[in-house]
Structure 1
Amino acid sequence: MDEVHARVEGSVGRLTLSRPKALNALTGPMLVKIGFALRGWAGNPSVAMVLIEGDGGRAFCAGGDVAETWRDAQAGDPSSGPRFFADEYRLNALVKRFPKPWVALMDGIVMGGGVGISAHGSHRIVTERSTVAMPECAIGLIPDVGSTMILAQAPGHAGEYLAMTGARMDAADAIHAGFADLQVPSERLPELAAALVEAGEPGVIRDFAVAPGWSALAACQAQIDHCFAGETALDIVARLEDDRSEWAADALTAIRRASPLSVAAALETVRALRADPAIETALRTEYRFTSRAVRDGDFMEGVRAALIDKDRMPRWSPERLEDLPHERVEAMLAPLGPDELFLDHG
């Protein structure tokens, strides 16, 4: 099977990501194939909706294949990263603005680029096996694929918390934060997919939905809103240090392990999106950082430590938030002039 299996079943355009050994991580050719299928289906009156899923049972999609981007840069092609991100973000905009129902079966791991092709859809289904997160600060990026738009609209200051820590959400958390809509038992997904193909419309989903249950994220909302209301990243760190709870200690550890540049830029980006929560604004803002990250940020070191050498000991520049000039954050998020992300959709 191809890495993306695109076909029409009944009146449903169906996409199956099929790189199970790589947790269905997205490659450049996969982005192209998905985009080609969507553009064809958007104007095809015989296609009433789109259904997207992951193969293998472990992951819907664990993100973009950033290790390949790292290898390209090491081989002397630093433009590989910006090209990949531009292609990916254009696909994310297409998903968000797609004119027909978009049903995403977000079973298993859903991270990074996986969020970009699921959480912007009209019908977002999680299961008891779902793990949703935007952990980009840990590899020298910022939450991207338009996720800053979703984070900016999360309850209270949950967006800042999820962006800066990369905290993992289960099904109930993802619904609370606005990344998903309904929970369906994983064992019923094949039955749900068959029902969707037969019906050709998403109304049948409600027949499979179950109550999501208790959300740890919602339970911590008051703490989140207090600690992550700090004006700067260092203010947030200080509030977490004063909190002294296990939750605060975990959040503080995650922030301290991540790239200081990424943490500070993620905070600024999420807050900026509250004033203009549009997918186009989110993607263009994110691209300003990610397109510079290979040469001017911590991306190469973050990917090396997490995915190449796997020593989990990145050497950030600078190493601490206390040593990060705000001018550096401003430079990473500054307009790109003629290199700004062009979105032909929206």
Structure 2
Amino acid sequence: MSEDKDILIKVEGRVGHVTLNRPKALNALTYDMVLALEEALDAWRDDPDIAMVLIDAAGDKAFCAGGDIQAMYRHGKDGDYDYARRFWADEYRLNAKIAGYAKPFVALMHGIVMGGGVGLSAHGRHRIVTDTTMLAMPECAIGLIPDVGGTFLLARARGRLGEYLGLTGTRLGAADAIYAGFADSYVPLDRLEALRAALLDSGDPAVIEDFAGEPPEGRLAAIEVDVDEVFEQGSALDCLRMLESRDEEWAAKAAKAIRGGSPISLACTFEMVRASRTDLTLEDSLKREYRFSSRCMEHGDFLEGIRAAVIDKDRQPKFSKPGLEAVTQEDVASMLAEPPGGDIEL
């Protein structure tokens, strides 16, 4: 297997081992990394000497903080929307391959796990979180939606947690990541290196049980009943209004987060999580996500969201709609219509 400075791909014993290797960039996923990982998975799929795939990341801060949105921004500002469309189409294909991979796929999800990092890990068969894990899908804040299969995962969270997490971008520690269905096992940080060594030595994910334990208590279970009451409403705006009528601390934080997001992204995310509950496959949700992402530069708020959060860092985005009150059903339908040229093939 090839070895590249941004992604290390090698065979160790019976394990295909992938390490994201951009620690200074919080292991943000570049287009070349997407293609390299897909090539490796294709090669290992039918290789009888490979029993398992392990994906981890360099550095202590992050597994993967998301896609390389700065590169997308540069291309988009130059009027090149096709670069991001190709990136997303190929990334979504990779997400689908991970979800359907025939061999055990093990992800060590330490540190920050956001956006594209969720797509590389949470669709795998064995998803391990630890004390430093901080998982979130905060895409509405930058004019995107919880993509990389995020709407599919959110739709399968308990109750109405999917709408809550998708609209607010709430950060989850180990216990809550497991509770919401994004992970399976907790391994204490001081045992993570030993687990990695055992996985590489054995090529058998069954060893995870020898290292797993009970995570420190989370917070989602305590607010789940209230979350369900709020987020069972018929629209994102109705949910926001109910949040703003309540006096609990969690509701105030949720309302503030929603008010700070892109209105069109929020409205579409709500509809997409609801729609994903009836999707039979991840591919169905990915195709719907691509409908939005393929339009989000030209017709949505993605470029402005990235400008405010990452480029200028003024945290004062001027989104296309002044609030959820201004978003119509026609706006949502337009963003989620079949794209020119048809839906992507996965």
TM-score using structure 1 length: 0.98
* Alignment match, 2:35: 32
* Alignment match, 1:301: 304
Is 1:286 the counterpart of 2:284 in the alignment?
Answer: no
CA deviation string 1:200-242 (max 9, x = no partner): 1100000100102322011110110001111011110121122
Is 1:157 the counterpart of 2:173 in the alignment?
Answer: no
Which one-letter code corresponds to 2:149 in the other structure? G
* Alignment match, 2:100: 97
* Alignment match, 2:212: 209
1:126-275 correspondence runs (5 A): 126-275=129-278
Query: Contact between 1:149 and 1:277, CA under 8 Å: does it hold in 2?
Result: no
Structure 2 unaligned blocks of 5 or more: none
How far did 1:73 drift?
1.2
Distance in structure 2 (CA, Å) of the matches to 1:138 and 1:67: 15
TM-score using structure 2 length: 0.98
Q: Secondary structure at the match of 1:334?
A: coil
* Alignment match, 2:13: 10
Which one-letter code corresponds to 1:316 in the other structure? F
Distance in structure 1 (CA, Å) of the matches to 2:119 and 2:113: 9
1:19-58 correspondence runs (5 A): 19-58=22-61
Distance in structure 1 (CA, Å) of the matches to 2:85 and 2:200: 37
Query: Contact between 2:104 and 2:126, CA under 8 Å: does it hold in 1?
Result: yes
How far did 1:187 drift?
2.2
Q: Secondary structure at the match of 2:50?
A: coil
CA deviation string 1:45-77 (max 9, x = no partner): 100000000101110000000111010111231
Distance in structure 1 (CA, Å) of the matches to 2:197 and 2:131: 20
Q: Out of 229-238 and 157-166, give the one that drifted further.
A: 229-238
Pairs aligned (count): 343
CA RMSD in angstroms, aligned pairs only: 0.9
Structure 1 unaligned blocks of 5 or more: none
Q: Secondary structure at the match of 2:55?
A: strand
Distance in structure 2 (CA, Å) of the matches to 1:57 and 1:46: 31
Distance in structure 2 (CA, Å) of the matches to 1:285 and 1:111: 20
